[in-house]
Each structure stands twice: as structure tokens, then as C-alpha cells.
Amino acid sequence: MTLDVSAIKKDFPLLERDFNGKPLVYLDSAATSQKPRAVIDAMSDYYENYNANTHRGVFGIAEQATNAMEGAREKVRSFINAPSINEIIFTRNATESINLVAHSWGRANLRAGDVVVLTELEHHSNIVPWQQIREERGIELRYIPVTDSGHLDLDDLAATVDGAKLVSISAMSNVLGTVTPVRHIADIAHAAGALVCVDACQFVPHLPCDVIALGADFVAFSAHKMCGPTGVGVLWGHEALLDAMPAFLGGGGMIRDVTLQGFKPAELPWKFEAGTPAIAEIIGLGAAVDYLSAIGMPAVRQHEVELAAYTLRTLKGRFGDGIKIYGPSEASERGAVFSFGFGDLHPHDISQVLDEHGVCVRAGHHCAKPLMRKLGIGATARASLYLYNDESDVDALADALAAAADFFGL
Amino acid sequence: MPGLEDLYREIVLDHYRSPRNRGELPVPPSHRAEGFNPLCGDEIVVYVQVDGDTITDVKIGGQGCSISQSSASMMSAAIKGKTIHEARALTRAFKSMMSIHETALEGDDPEMAAANLAVKLGDLEALRGVARVPVRIKCATLSWNTLAQGLDEAEAEA
């Protein structure tokens, strides 16, 4: 094992608790990750010792809060290798980040007949905002198809992106685990004159992310899937693009001047941060970035590739054709998120029995109904792993599945 | 937290493995209603054939988990040959069993409670364990809500 997972597990208070007298096996990190003590402590420290609004007061703790929040911005900038802190916009979550792009950049730049390209494996958060713009502006949406093996079908990519204004794609599927070839798609999109927006919600927590190397123009992700708290997300964009975009939400904090006749927006990044931000959560995100950086994202990725290979091997070895795992069969082409069907059991029934064994997996459509339709299924069970999972968790999953097979008489 | 055996009684699993009254009925003369649980993507289609005041035939289509499928199967067996009035009383009694915590909170209407008690749930009693697993209650009540739509339609037309 690349990582000392038994030491890492001890950093997460929740993973130490029992459930029905059994250790909790948490396999729903694609929905939200657990939080290390360092993140929880950083947020408590703010509330207990320097709780004050940012960019307002001149008193000591207000300055301390401002410095902590802006310090977190610099940590995030460095973590994704962004050129400037002006490019790090704090939002509520990746969903809001994509909505910001759709409603600010989209409304300013998209006219009837303009083309936006998505893929069939997108989360609803990278489909619905564009459908809203389509309703408003009459734009055309095109979709890069998904193959049976769970990869993007790029055979007709050049034709699909021809004439497009924007290509908005997931860097890693929350259902299939597929790590998509963002750089390749971005190069072809840029050659066609399109901008590239990347939903990196499942990518930034699990792989080293360099927004420049990725070839992206916008990148969206959420703190709560990367060991940080809920309620804060990030939008990164090239400074020149963000500068040219109109403000998104209006209110306090995002203005330079307001008269009864109108307003002048603030400089970046505050232009896009209306209202009091989630200060404690942003500080918590900074602590999460510190935590992941200390372990090292290349090591996290290597661990998850090894764990994905072990999971595929174990589940196939124990259940053979009794289990259908969606997405790429090569661990190196995917993240450690596994949507699966088990016999003819409904995902609800699978997750119910697994819960009895202290194994937390998700059942449902995972906010990707178009992909579910493409796969010809209503729902899947999904186990998603992170840096605090190891082979013992995979074994617990397999044991619980064996118990489910036994219980339902498969 | 109830044990699995409490949730998945043998009779529940039996109805799941061998669902009764699966299929379709011609529309018209039958009525077709669709129910949907957006949370898990479960779908139920209920066909009811009503002659006068009597439900002469029922068929169930769609797909879903063991709880939603067995509840639909048991429902179809329980209401076939019953009057619309009896089917509605059974629906009330079943939903009251499912929402036992809520009715206790709201303060049960004694008259209604007595009426519900008088209705014999029979095999449907086996689904009582579901009431203690709040996220699954919608699975159990899906077919009943769908039936109610079908009966409303049948009565509106009569």
C-alpha cells in the first residue's frame, strides 16, 4: 500500500465509531467525503477564537478572519496550480460554480443557435443549467456519447465541437468512475474556437489537478468531496475571462460603488462573491487542502488505482457474472467509484442489507438520469472509496454482498 | 433499527419473487395509472377494471425494489373482487399502518382509527416492519397511491 491507511483512518473521527456494534465501512465518498479532525478543528477555532465578518471590520479579529479566508484562497490556488488568486471564486458548491458560468458567461455570450457541447455521462449539475440557458436563449445542446465500456466516444469529436462556443465536460464520472481525456478534448475544442468548462467535482479530490495542464478555461469543484465542509465550492477561470464577465449574484461584498442609479462591480475575485461568504467553511477548505497536500495527491491517486484494481479483482473473483460493474475495467482509466448491479436485486435492497452490516453504499440514479437511461437501468448501487479506505473495506463490502445473496436466495 | 427479518418477512419475499397479477389490461375499458418514486427511479403501473362498484380485475406493471413490488403484489391480491369503497378503506388502513409515527404525533382521529382497526389487513400486516425504516415507506405506499389515482379516474368516469 502506498499510503499508511491505518494512520489516515485515525485522522477521521467518524471512522472510529461503531454502527450496530460493527465498525463503520464508509463507501459513499463520491457523495460526500468524511472530514479529518484538522478540518473540524480549523472551523471550531474560527468560531471560538476569531469569529468576525471578513473585509469589513478594522478590529483585530476581523482582520484575522479576513487573513484566514484569503489564506485559504491562496492554498486553493496553489493546490490547482492557478496563476492568480484573483481566479479563485468561492461559491456554495460545484453546482453553483457551473451555474455561475452558465448564467454570467452564458448570458453574455450565447445567442440563439449557438452550440454548447456536453457529454452523456454528466451529473445533472452540468446539464440542467445549460438546459435553462437553452430555454432562455434557444441555444443548441450536443452530447458526446458514452460507449458500452463507459468511455467517451470521441470518434466524431471534431464534428461535434465544430462551431461550438463552449464544451462543458466532467473530468471524472460520479457513476462510472471514468477519468475522461480532458486535455485531448480541450485541444480539439480550442482548435474549433470553443471554451472548455470542466466539472472537476470527482477529479480534484482524487487526482493531482493542474488547471493549466488540464487545458481548461473554467474548473468547478466542491469542498465537501475533498475532506472539506459542505457549503463551499470553487470556480476557477482564466482571469481575462472572469474579468470580462458580468457579475452573477448582486449584493454586499461584490460592489465597488453603488448609487441610486447603478453599481460598479468589485475587482476579482470579490465581484462574484455577493453576501457574507461561508467563512468557517472556506477556512475548513483551506485545512482540507493542507491535509491532502501533506499526504500528496500523486500518492492519493496511486493508492486509489491500487484499491480500484483490488476492488475489481475481488468482486469479480467472488461473484463472477453475478455482479455487473459499470465503467472501465482498467483501474488506471478510472477512479475508485463502482456502480454495480448484483444478481437481480434492486439497489435499494442491496444497500439495505449492506447497511445492516455497517457498509454504507448509495442506491439510486446518482443525479445522472440521462446516463442511467443510456445504460438501460433505473438505478445502481454505488460504492465509492477514498484515501481512508483500504482492502479491509473492500473485503467488508464483498462479505456483505455475499450475505445479501444468501439472504435473498441468489 | 429493526433486523432484516423484520423488514423482509418471508411472505414479503414470496410476493417479490413470485409477484401476483403481473401484466396489463386493455385500456379502455380498464383504467391505467402510473406512479413514480423519483428518489430511486421505481415505477409502478396499476390497471384496474371496474364493473359497477366492483374491482373485477387488477394488473401490475413496472419495476422496483422488493418492498414496492411485494406491496403492489399483495395489494392486487387484496383488492381484487372488492368494492371501490372497500379498496379505499384498505388503502387508508395500510397507509395508517405505514405512517404510525406521524398519526401518533398529529393525534389520531379516534373514529378513523377505529374504522382502520376494523379493516383486516391480512398478509399486508407483513409489511409493518417497513414503518420503522422511514426511507422505505415511500416504496411500500407507491402502489397504493397509484391505485388511488386509478380509482379516482374510474369513479370520475362512472
Could you read off the pLDDT of B29-67 as tens digits, one per residue?
889 999 988 776 788 999 999 988 999 999 999 988 888
Name the residue among A349, A365, A407 with its Cβ closest to that of B65: A349
Spatial distance between the Cα atoms of A271 and A292, rounded to a whole number of angstroms = 29
Domain housing A91 = 50-294
State which of A258, A277, A294 marks the end of a domain. Answer: A294
Name the residue among B1, B8, B40 with its Cβ closest to that of A363: B40
Do residues A235 and A356 both lie within one domain?
A: no
Segment B89-116 mean pLDDT: 66
What pLDDT is recorded for position B97?
87
Spatial distance between the Cα atoms of B114 and A25, rounded to a whole number of angstroms = 45
State which of A294, A319, A338 marks the end of a domain. Answer: A294
Do residues A194 and A304 both lie within one domain?
A: no
B104 has pLDDT over 70: no
Q: How far is A341 from chain B (nearest CA, A)?
A: 13
Spatial distance between the Cα atoms of A402 and A253, rounded to a whole number of angstroms = 55
Taking an 8 Å cut-off on Cβ atoms, the answer to whether A353 and B4 are in contact is: yes
Give A346's contacts in chain B (Cβ within 8 Å): 64-66, 69
Taking an 8 Å cut-off on Cβ atoms, the answer to whether A348 and B4 are in contact is: no
What pLDDT is recorded for position B37?
83
Taking an 8 Å cut-off on Cβ atoms, the answer to whether A364 and B64 are in contact is: no
Contact indicator for A175, A339 with CB cutoff of 8 Å: yes
Taking an 8 Å cut-off on Cβ atoms, the answer to whether A347 and B40 are in contact is: yes
Spatial distance between the Cα atoms of A343 and A176, rounded to a whole number of angstroms = 19
B105 has pLDDT over 50: no
- Residues written for chain A: 410
Q: How far is A62 from chain B (nearest CA, A)?
A: 43
In angstroms and rounded to an integer, the radius of gyration of the C-alpha atoms of chain A is 22
Angle between helices B66-79 and B10-17 (to 10 degrees): 90
Contact indicator for A44, A283 with CB cutoff of 8 Å: no
Give the residue, B157 or B143, on which the prediction is more confident.
Answer: B143
Which residues share a beta bridge with A90?
A: A234
Do residues A273 and A197 both lie within one domain?
A: yes
Do residues A59 and A179 both lie within one domain?
A: yes
Taking an 8 Å cut-off on Cβ atoms, the answer to whether A378 and B43 are in contact is: yes
Q: Tens digit of pLDDT per residue, chain A (410 long)?
A: 589 999 999 999 999 888 778 889 999 999 999 999 999 999 999 999 999 999 877 899 999 999 999 999 999 999 999 999 999 999 999 999 999 999 999 999 999 999 999 999 999 999 999 999 999 999 999 999 999 999 999 999 999 999 999 999 999 999 999 999 999 999 999 999 999 999 999 999 999 999 999 999 999 999 999 999 999 999 999 999 999 999 999 998 899 999 999 999 999 999 999 999 999 999 999 999 999 999 999 999 999 999 999 999 999 999 999 999 999 999 999 999 999 999 989 998 999 999 989 999 999 889 999 999 999 888 899 999 999 999 999 999 999 999 999 988 77
Residues 41-60 of B with CB under 8 A from A: 41-43
Taking an 8 Å cut-off on Cβ atoms, the answer to whether A356 and B65 are in contact is: no
Per the structure, how many domains does chain A have?
2
A 10 A CB-CB count for A274 gives 18
A348's grid cell: 435499494
A94's grid cell: 460545484
Name the residue among A20, A372, A409 with its Cβ closest to that of B1: A20
B116 has pLDDT over 80: no
Q: Is residue A35 part of a domain?
A: no
Domain housing B51 = 4-157
Q: How far is B120 from chain A (nearest CA, A)?
A: 28
Taking an 8 Å cut-off on Cβ atoms, the answer to whether A348 and B13 are in contact is: no
Query: What are the helix and strand counts (H, E) for chain A?
Result: 15, 17
3-state secondary structure of A59: coil
Q: Is A352 on the interface with B (CB under 8 A)?
A: yes
Name the residue among A349, A356, A369 with its Cβ closest to that of B66: A349
Q: Nearest chain B Cα to A347, which residue?
A: B65
Name the residue among A347, A356, A364 with its Cβ closest to that of B4: A356
3-state secondary structure of B38: coil
ipTM: 0.76
Q: Nearest chain B Cα to A354, which residue?
A: B4
B138 has pLDDT over 90: no
Do residues A85 and A215 both lie within one domain?
A: yes
Q: How far is B4 from chain A (nearest CA, A)?
A: 7
Query: For a pLDDT cut of 90, what percent of chain B falls above it?
Result: 37
Q: How far is B40 from chain A (nearest CA, A)?
A: 5
Q: Is residue A186 part of a domain?
A: yes
Segment B11-26 mean pLDDT: 88
A206's grid cell: 482524487
Do residues A318 and A211 both lie within one domain?
A: no
Residues A124/A378/A391/A122 CA torsion (nearest 10 deg): -20
State which of A265, A294, A323 marks the end of a domain. Answer: A294
Q: Which of A93, A92, A77, A97 is nearest to A276 (CA)?
A: A92
Q: Is A379 on the interface with B (CB under 8 A)?
A: yes
Residues 70-129 of B with CB under 8 A from A: none
Residue A396 vs residues A36, A234, A324, A360: alpha-carbon distances, Å: 22, 34, 18, 11
Give B40's contacts in chain A (Cβ within 8 Å): 347-348, 363-365, 378-379
Give B64's contacts in chain A (Cβ within 8 Å): 346
Taking an 8 Å cut-off on Cβ atoms, the answer to whether B41 and A363 are in contact is: no
pLDDT band at B109 (very low <50, low <70, confident <90, very high): low
Spatial distance between the Cα atoms of A207 and A188, rounded to a whole number of angstroms = 23
Angle between helices B84-98 and B134-157 (to 10 degrees): 160
**H or E segment and range at residue A118:** strand A115-119
**A197 labelled catalytic:** no
Give B35's contacts in chain A (Cβ within 8 Å): none
Spatial distance between the Cα atoms of A73 and A384, rounded to a whole number of angstroms = 28
Do residues A149 and A246 both lie within one domain?
A: yes
Per the structure, how many domains does chain B have?
1
Looking at residue A342, which CATH number applies to its domain?
3.90.1150.10
pLDDT band at B110 (very low <50, low <70, confident <90, very high): low
Do residues A99 and A157 both lie within one domain?
A: yes
Q: How far is B151 from chain A (nearest CA, A)?
A: 27
What pLDDT is recorded for position B108?
53
Q: Is B67 on the interface with A (CB under 8 A)?
A: yes
Q: Which of A103, A99, A121, A98 is nearest to A182 (CA)?
A: A121
Taking an 8 Å cut-off on Cβ atoms, the answer to whether A378 and B39 are in contact is: no
Looking at residue B54, which CATH number applies to its domain?
3.90.1010.10
Do residues A90 and A235 both lie within one domain?
A: yes
Residues 6+ apart with CB under 8 A from A5: A303, A387, A388, A389, A390
What pLDDT is recorded for position A72?
98
